[in-house]
Amino acid sequence: MSLSMRDPVIPGTSMAYHPFLPHRAPDFAMSAVLGHQPPFFPALTLPPNGAAALSLPGALAKPIMDQLVGAAETGLPFSSLGPQAHLRPLKTMEPEEEVEDDPKVHLEAKELWDQFHKRGTEMVITKSGRRMFPPFKVRCSGLDKKAKYILLMDIIAADDCRYKFHNSRWMVAGKADPEMPKRMYIHPDSPATGEQWMSKVVTFHKLKLTNNISDKHGFTLAFPSDHATWQGNYSFGTQTILNSMHKYQPRFHIVRANDILKLPYSTFRTYLFPETEFIAVTAYQNDKITQLKIDNNPFAKGFRDTGNGRREKRKQLTLQSMRVFDDRHKKENGTSDESSSEQAAFNCFAQSSSPAVSTVGTSNLKDLCPSEGESDAEADSKEEHGPEACDAAKISTTTSEEPCRDKGSPAVKAHLFAAEPGGRPRDAGRLDKASPDSRHSPATISSSTRGLGAEERRSPGREGAATSKAEEARALPGKEAFAPLTVQTDAAAAHLGQGPLPGLGFAPGLAGQQFFNGHPLFLHPGQFAMGGAFSSMAAGMGPLLATVSGASTGVSGLDSTAMASAAAQGLSGASAATLPFHLQPHVLASQGLAMSPFGSLFPYPYTYMAAAAAASSAAASSSVHRHPFLNLNTMRPRLRYSPYSIPMPVPDSSSLLATALPSMAAAAGPLDGKAAALAASPASVAVDSGSELNSRASTLSSSSVSLSPKLCPEKEAATSELQNIQRLVSGLEAKPDRSRSGSP
DNA sequence: TCTCTCACTTC
DNA sequence: TGAAGTGAGAG
């Protein structure tokens, strides 16, 4: 399908825009492609000094501005420009010929992410910028070896809430603060061939998170246009600006294009990994997360119990305090049951944390165990000890904390697509999420502007999974179950001429524009940013910016960071090592370009949640904006999703997988088989609308809720007790240091 | 809550 | 050797 097949932008409603250019560029480019003067061009014009106005880094500004805005530099209003403008030849603006590819993305360091998700999902942001931890790393497969791809990442608000850490858990504390300008980070090695990308793990460790709205790592620009759609700032930079105490969801995008200029005309495949969702904080709130990072981040090695640094000294001090406390406690209270029990717990805590007592190099596991009580033991054991200690450490199958709190993938996913009419905090909805471990599944979001009928599908499996807590629980101890939910946006069909699409988060103005619908990059004008590519321009952006067939940059740098987490990952998972990728099908073709039909998506047995990522736009309502994938069912189905859901670890079902994906099944380990089994045949179920979705969501929610009661009491009791102990300890120390107390 | 400095680490 | 990434801790 060629670009010419797309419907023209509806005059006065929405305007296509190029992320790096004034909004007119794309339209103009399109006009060039179409070979005619766009009739809808208003009188908007670019400032003569377009390039300067954009304040783009030289390396970027040059090629882009020269080629796309070159005409503007002459002072000519776009409206007067025609195909004869100084734009690149039509040919170069056309999308590359269709290439057979079927990108799949596997989140690396998944074990670590899972632990991260279980423990509270805190991600530190600082004024100067902090790297993400766990590091966002993915492995791609299914790419066309010869074709070039641009890989991007951005972080979007997960909901409209502000959070607070209260009583050892995250709670909604109100409405979200105004959203920070969003940025899109382009992997510095982009563009690179599929072969190059697939040869290594793609890491985004250079992306930093900051709360400094005025950080200089970005390039902000203001558009001169009066048009509401174009107001706002675009920023590009190595750092993504986030609001502290707000929840975010990283997204990964694959775009097959050898030229950044083709981004607007290329298919965006967006992948979401629920377990990577996090709450930005300026200081750690949850000790468990701190511990996780200390134990897995090389740079924090100095704080490990096994180290010789300050941590060790501090621990010793703590030990002393503990002894004092212990003695005093005995003298004062004698040995009542209560004290005994408390003491027992305390001792457990202390002992485990004591290097002398704990197994070599595995002290942390126990530290956390008592401190939090909860089922974190499993998590802790895994992460701290790696696989070897993990199994043994799996004490609790109930993610006590999880059920009670607002986390959980399956439910999350359900919620992602559940309507939230009252603007109900997504988080609230999440209260009923099931534990994340049962389904950390990557969500794939593919936006498409093709004229397919809007449909929503859900795999039967999801329902079963949602309702089957037992199974979920069962799955927890062992491996992760995957609850796939695939959603495909079909912007074009969904609403052409229908006006605003709240469900998708399309700005009213964009509703009628299919060209860019479903394109995350374009649907989030205010959120677009370029990241590290600029900082490391020479290496990464050079090629990217060199429009045409620039020499493909190698991906040598992709794997540069081998975090300690890798160790943990490797340890804990036999799964990680043996598992083939957790592939994510995505499907979408942006702008009418024919891409794999949805049907082709379902065959993938993996857990995916495809959502309408693209949806949001600067003009979109805040909630929608923040949640492109939410409220999908608030209106007519605009999404086609297929939740593969769930945890139906039935051996037999694996056969299905094998059938569907012989090669994959063969390669996959037991876990995969399970995951596959979980994924019901997507094609088989075509949910027609939000109503069903809602009902399903409801089911999920209710089921989750019902489960909570069972899991919480027990856990809470333990937690409470532990917390009491912790408080006592805290009382003795200037600062509570749960994980480090120890006793002789 | 946030910011800054510090000691420590990796690379 | 030094730049840069860490969490702790103080303010």
Looking at residue A302, what is its pLDDT? 81
- Measured to protein CB atoms, the chain B nucleotides within 7 Å are 1-4, 7-11
Those residues with Cβ within 8 angstroms of residue A436's Cβ, 6 or more apart along the chain or in another chain: A114, A117, A118, A274, A275, A399, A402, A407, A408, A409, A412
Secondary structure in 3-state letters for A166-228? ECCEEEEEEECCCCCCCEEEECCCCCEEHHHHHHCEEECCCCEEECCCCCCCEEEEECCCCCH
Nucleotides of C under 7 A from a protein CB: 4-10
- The beta strand positions in A457-509, using DSSP E, are 485-489
SS3 (DSSP) at A391: helix
Note the CA–C1' distance, A734 to C9, in angstroms. 10
Q: Measured from the CB, is A284 under 7 Å from any atom of strand B?
A: no
Task: Tell me which residues of chain A have a pLDDT lower than 50.
Answer: 1-96, 220-234, 307-309, 334-441, 445-744
A12: left (phi over 0), alpha (psi -120 to 50) or beta: left
Nucleotide minimizing C1' to CA distance for residue A163? B1
**Nucleic strand B within 7 A of Cβ A297:** no
Confidence (pLDDT) at A213: 82
Q: In 3D, which of A241, A223, A147, A230 has the Cα closest to residue A185?
A: A241
Question: How confident is the model at residue A102, as a pLDDT?
Answer: 87
Question: Among candidates A437, A491, A134, which has minimal Cα distance to A297?
Answer: A134
For residue A126, say whether its CB is under 7 Å from any atom of strand B.
yes
Residue A310 CA to residue A353 CA, distance in Å, equals 15
Strand C contact with A294 (CB < 7 A): yes
Q: pLDDT per residue over A51-102, tens digit each?
A: 222 223 333 333 333 333 332 333 222 222 222 233 333 344 444 455 578 8
- d(CA A365, CA A306) in angstroms, rounded, equals 12
**Considering only CA atoms, which residue is closest to the C1' of nucleotide C7?**
A300
Which residue has the least CA–C1' distance to nucleotide B7?
A: A310
Alpha-carbon distance A368 to A366, whole Å? 5
Please answer whether residues A414 and A697 qualify as being in contact, where contact means their C-beta atoms are separated by less than 8 angstroms: yes
State the nearest residue by CA to the C1' of C5. Answer: A299
Kindly determine whether the C-beta of residue A311 is less than 7 Å away from any atom of nucleic acid strand C: yes
DSSP H or E segment with residue A643: strand A639-643
pLDDT of residue A113: 92
Residues 6 or more apart whose Cβ sits within 8 Å of residue A575: A111, A479, A480, A669, A671
CA of A560 and C1' of C2: distance in angstroms? Answer: 20
Tokens of A376: 């974190």
Q: Would you call A589 exposed, middle or buried from its count of C-beta atoms within 10 A (0-12, 13-18, 19+)?
A: buried
- The reply to whether A133 Cβ lies less than 7 angstroms from strand C is yes
Angstrom distance (rounded) from CA A210 to CA A125: 5
* Closest to A527 measured CA to CA, from A502, A507, A542: A507
Asked if strand C contacts A738 at the CB level, meaning under 7 A, the answer is no
**CA atom of A130 to C1′ atom of C10, Å:** 21
pLDDT, one tens digit per residue, over A635-672 is 222 222 222 222 222 233 333 222 233 333 333 333 33
CA of A301 to C1' of B11 (A): 14
CA of A151 to C1' of C2 (A): 32
Three-state DSSP state, A139: strand
CA of A188 to C1' of B11 (A): 20
Q: How far is the CA of A426 from the C1' of B4 (A)?
A: 35
Distance from residue A374 (CA) to nucleotide B7 (C1'), in Å?
33
Judged by C1' against the alpha carbon of A301, the nearest nucleotide is B9
Tokens found for residue A306 = 């096994």
Contact A560, A203 (CB under 8 A): yes
A313 touches strand C (CB under 7 A): no
Q: How far is the CA of A156 from the C1' of C5 (A)?
A: 24
Task: Specify the pLDDT at position A329.
Answer: 55
Nearest nt to the CA of A129 via C1' is C5
**A733 beta carbon to strand C: under 7 Å:** no
Is the CB of residue A562 inside 7 Å of nucleic acid strand C? no
Q: For residue A591, what are its two tokens? A: 């702008």
Distance, CA of A717 to CA of A687 (rounded, Å)? 41
Contact A125, A500 (CB under 8 A): no
Q: Which residue has the tokens 């005093």?
A: A328
